[in-house]
Amino acid sequence: MIMKNEDKILRIRHSAAHVMAEAVLEMFPDAKIAIGPAIENGFYYDFDLPRSLKTEDLAEIENRMKRIIKENHPFVKKVVTKEEALEFFKDQPYKVELIKDLPGNEEISMYSQGAFTDLCRGPHVENTSGLNPEAFKLLSVAGAYWRGDEKNPMLQRIYGTAWNSPKELRVYLNHLKEVEKRDHRKLGRQLDLFSVHEEAGAGLIYWHPKGARIRSVIEDFWKGEHFKSGYEIIYTPHIGKSWLWETSGHLDFYSDNMYSPIKIDNADYYLKPMNCPFHILIYKTLMRSYRDLPLRWAELGTVYRYERSGVLHGLLRVRGFTQDDAHIICTPDQIEDEILEVLRFSLRMWEAFGFKDIKAYLATKPEKCVGDDKQWDQAVESLKAAVEKENLEYVPDEGGGAFYGPKIDLKIRDALGREWQMTTIQFDFNLPERFDMTFVDHDGKEKRPYMVHRALLGSLERFFGVLIEHYGGAFPVWLSPVQVQVIPVAKEFYEYAGETAKKLMAEGFRTYADLSGNRLNAKIRNAQNEKIPYMLVVGEKEEAENLVSLRDRNGNKKNLIPLMTFVEMVREKIKNKVLL
RNA sequence: GCCAGGAUAGCUCAGUGGCAGAGCAGCUCACUCGUAAUGAGCAGGUCGUGGGUUCAAGUCCCACUUCUGGCUCCA
């Protein structure tokens, strides 16, 4: 039998989950088993156990799994009726629930290996010997609600990873190590980029000078690109009275994510969780003609959203963040061009920051929604047309749109192959209605404009987190907080080093001279650890003829070159936004 | 919020009921030192917070805060 590789690895992982369940049942004969699917890179199984598992238990489960694998049990499939299945699993309440929920026409099958039988659609490897006892590893124990619903009991989930060969397992474990090394929280501290202060509030980010330098470069670039692309930039307040949020509907459908109000002069003010209502108020300060549209208004708008304490995560999940937000307000016949242009803009942005692998997710009309079918169709069509024109791979999510409009989300793949959802381009049929936005059309009649909400980078915090991990802290020169470190070989050359740094600063570079008491080797090492792109070593030879000796962070050297040659070279690299 | 595991010097971590430790970073001093750590010395902690058990608590118990890995959700 020939099977595709993907199919084979799924069988291995799914079978590993069954073997794990068998091992756990050996240790806890009264355990209730829930579900155990194959997932990306591995598998898990959920159990209801008499006691909580410790990390040490994983080793024992692993050993039992190895033994079971070596015992060479075939995986045997058996097709049963619903009644037979219910009878067989009568002591397994989770299985009973699953069986009861199976549609009547579906074939019900069970798979057995050795002493273990599970309700399962399959497929599996033919025999436990199809698993390599040295090519899997149990990774962690975690809590997980039965069927992902927090009203249900919490089960214990064991995560594992399984591969074709021990070598593949080693590669994957190394990948995990690399992920850990690049963790933005770790690099954020090592490179002195940002911090979070528990005593001052979780999920709130402090940007240190070096992180803020990067942010400032990002913001400048972002603003420039927006002006070039026909956007205006606006600024709006951080709080708004309850009238605003009642009108927008946020107090009805978004209040779980909003903070309690602040009382000012007997009125309730809320921290903004979104920028849209503010932008709309600006729109409504004038009568708008079709001649004024499209309007493209962007804001680096800082919003605050309540996130449950358990989900906060470094820069990637926070309670206060700055969206690179914009609203496009246009007439129905402008919408297709506008969407295409936003998408192109977004792709240009990602390219500039070094991300090339991008996938689109298109979410269409859900059952419950506002707006009429014609609007939805046109909106979805314009989204589809745009991704197709750009030859972007896209995954449709039928019925996955919000009640107020369809959207495209872009997921970008980073250097480690992980996908991050960043860009969102979202129609809104709700707010124009609620705020009674209008424009005067050719015929002199007031009509409702289309509104599109979009964030390209998503939020600056989250984007920065992804950027740090993508580059492992070694940013391209144009983004590096320090671009050039001037390193004198001994005290007598400190003056020349200082002058050199001053000249570079005058040329617009971010640069320092290392005038510490350290020795040359230590200075190089420090610059290297800070991942500074360029080091200029200066000593007697350099000072005599106004030269510098270049060493980049990859260790490449170019000795005794004129300072201006270096300046021209780096200027080119910055212009082209290359790594080094 | 829920499940599990953590919180000890600025950082990384050791310390299993009996005098709070190490390395790095910091500070001081010495060293004429060419591409990834020069050496010596000094200083640094209410052991996350509050309560309890004990002759004695970093260590055991309870509550809270917060972090990590998940569940749910999302920029």
The distance from CA A58 to its chain's CA centroid, rounded to whole angstroms, is 30
- Contact criterion met (CB below 8 Å) for A507 and A390: no
ipTM score for this prediction: 0.90
Give A209 CA → B40 C1' in Å: 34
Give A201 CA → B8 C1' in Å: 22
- Contact criterion met (CB below 8 Å) for A13 and A39: yes
Q: Which residue has the tokens 């659609």?
A: A121
Give the pLDDT confidence score for residue A308 in this predicted structure. Answer: 85
Among A407, A462, A470, A523, the active-site one is A407
CA-to-CA distance for A419 and A17, rounded, in angstroms?
A: 25
Q: Which nucleotide is nearest to A536 (CA to C1')?
A: B35
Residue-wise over A276-313: b if at least 16 C-beta within 10 A, else e? bbbbbeebeeeebebeebbbbbbbbbbbbbebeeeeee
Q: pLDDT digit string (tens) for A60-98? A: 899 999 999 999 999 999 999 998 999 999 999 999 999
Low-confidence ranges of chain A (pLDDT < 70): 1-6
Q: Name the burial class of residue A123, with classes exposed (0-12), middle (13-18) and buried (19+) by CB atoms within 10 angstroms of its CB.
A: middle
Give the pLDDT confidence score for residue A2 in this predicted structure. Answer: 45
Q: Which nucleotide is nearest to A144 (CA to C1')?
A: B71
Give A45 CA → B69 C1' in Å: 16
Among A323, A334, A375, A483, the active-site one is A323
Q: Which of A399, A476, A453, A455 is nearest to A214 (CA)?
A: A476
Cα three-residue angle A414-A415-A418, rounded to 5 degrees? 45
Residue whose Cα is closest to the C1' of B68: A313
Return the CA Rg of chain A: 29
Structure tokens at A391: 């030859």
Range list of H helices, A440-493: 460-471
Give A314 CA → B58 C1' in Å: 28
Give A276 CA → B6 C1' in Å: 40
Give A403 CA → B72 C1' in Å: 20
Residue whose Cα is closest to the C1' of B4: A142
Give the pLDDT confidence score for residue A6 in this predicted structure. Answer: 67
Structure tokens at A472: 């492992």
Other Cβ atoms within 10 Å of A556 Cβ, number: 9
Query: Catalytic: A73?
Result: no
Give the pLDDT confidence score for residue A202 in this predicted structure. Answer: 85
Q: Which nucleotide is nearest to A155 (CA to C1')?
A: B3
Among A13, A14, A118, A276, the active-site one is A276
Query: Catalytic: A453?
Result: yes
Give nucleotides in strand B with any atom < 7 A to a protein C-beta.
1-5, 11-12, 26, 29-38, 65-75
Dihedral of the alpha carbons of A485, A489, A490, A491, in degrees to the nearest 10:
-20
pTM (two decimals): 0.93
- Residues sharing a CB contact under 8 Å with residue A313, sequence separation 6 or more, in sequence order: none
Largest CA distance in chain A: 94
The secondary structure of A72-128 as a DSSP string is TPBPEEEEE-HHHHHHHTTT-HHHHHHHHHS-TTS-EEEEEETTEEEE------SBG
Structure tokens at A368: 């419950």
Mean pLDDT of chain A: 93
Query: Catalytic: A407?
Result: yes
